[in-house]
Amino acid sequence: MGLFGKSGTALLGVDISSTAVKLLEIRRQGGRYRVESYAVEALPTDSVVEKSITNLDAVTAAVAGAVKRSRTKLKDVALAVPGSAAISKTVNMPSGLSEDDMQAQIEIEAEKYVPHPLDEVSLDFQVLGPAARDPGSVEVLLVASRSDNVDTRVDACEGAGLKTRVVDVESYATENAFALLAEDLPAHGEGQRIAVVDVGATMTTLSVFENQRIIYTREQVFGGRQLTEEISRRFGLSIEDAGRAKRQGGLPDSYEDEVLHPFMDSMAQQITRALQFFYGSSQHNSVDSIVLAGGCASIVGIDDLVRDQAGIPTFIANPFVNMSVSNRVRPQTLVEDAPALLIACGLAMRSFDP
């Protein structure tokens, strides 16, 4: 299974994160999208460590559980490897090459950038368009990832009775979904720099967009697992019970002041620090808006806190705000889960590739 792949058919977006499998089906009716089905299936602790699958059986069972819970009839899948597990490079190629000749040239180019033997790598390319400064060339995006990063995800889906048609990269899936987020941003995000901060269980990913294209991305170790571990330590719960209590409630009255609010402060500081890294490594010194995604974006009041600390308008990601929903989907639950479904949404949107 190579990266990217071709769709040409309706696809399930399947996002395998550190704590859950997120599955999403979107249909298009006329010019409008509809959420047909979705599910979030929790993973046992340490099934995925630092975005690598370490317990294939557990992940396969979670994918199967998500399929059953969603009641989808689709079998074809788009999934993604983490950005940290992929190497991306834009190169120029002569515009007249056939696909076979370009494939051969891409493999020669890949040897310059990929620090692994090519027989251990899944490699693909995508023509982006004419090269800006060379009318006789086209810009080609080369993407490579170690085959085991791809194969374990494909195996988990196939073990659940699904067929992988597309393998993407998480950052490109986020970019694919950003067009939906931009619909509700000032000026639809045009002429602006927007920071999308995805705070997951163990990793925080900052992606900065300019005119709806990613110009910067960076991962750092921070996430909701730290809140779960503090709940476990403070209240004497197992990690599983702490995670459940975090989502469903029932913790002592001291939880908010002594545990939740300090975590929210840390999260806001991490976001501010990530932006400082961006400013320090680019010619830019500002962003126009922050969009919070990932499971931690669902914490009530976190957008206001980040807005106050960063001094930047801050919004919660909801790529479904202008979509209708089928009667299989509970709208309020979808709103609650929406920030964590950004990558799954970008993958499901691959169904509509031209």
* Residues linked to residue 22 through DSSP beta bridges, in sequence order: 15, 40
With tokens 């964590």, the residue in question is: 340
3-state percent helix, strand, coil for the chain, nearest multiple of 5: 40, 30, 25
In terms of CATH architecture, what is 86-146?
A: 2-Layer Sandwich (3.30)
Q: Check whether 73 has a pLDDT greater than 70.
A: yes
What stretch(es) of the chain map to CATH 3.30.420.40? Answer: 1-85+147-183+318-354, 185-317
* Residues linked to residue 315 through DSSP beta bridges, in sequence order: 291
Look at residue 97 in the predicted model and tell me its pLDDT: 86
In terms of CATH architecture, what is 185-317?
A: 2-Layer Sandwich (3.30)
Q: Check whether 354 has a pLDDT greater than 80.
A: no
Look at residue 22 in the predicted model and tell me its pLDDT: 97
Q: Does domain 1-85+147-183+318-354 have CATH number 3.30.420.40?
A: yes
Instruction: Please compute the mean of the pLDDT values over residues 233-240 and round it to a whole number.
Output: 93
- Beta strand spans in 150-278 (E): 163-169, 193-199, 203-210, 213-221
What stretch(es) of the chain map to CATH 3.30.1490.300? Answer: 86-146
- By residue count, the chain amounts to 354
Q: Check whether 47 has a pLDDT greater than 80.
A: yes
Q: DSSP secondary-structure letter at 254?
A: T
Buried b or exposed e, range 105-144, using 16+ CB within 10 angstroms: bbeebbeeebeeeeeebbbbbeeeeebeeeeebbbbebbb
Instruction: Please compute the mean of the pLDDT values over residues 3-32 and round it to a whole number.
Output: 86
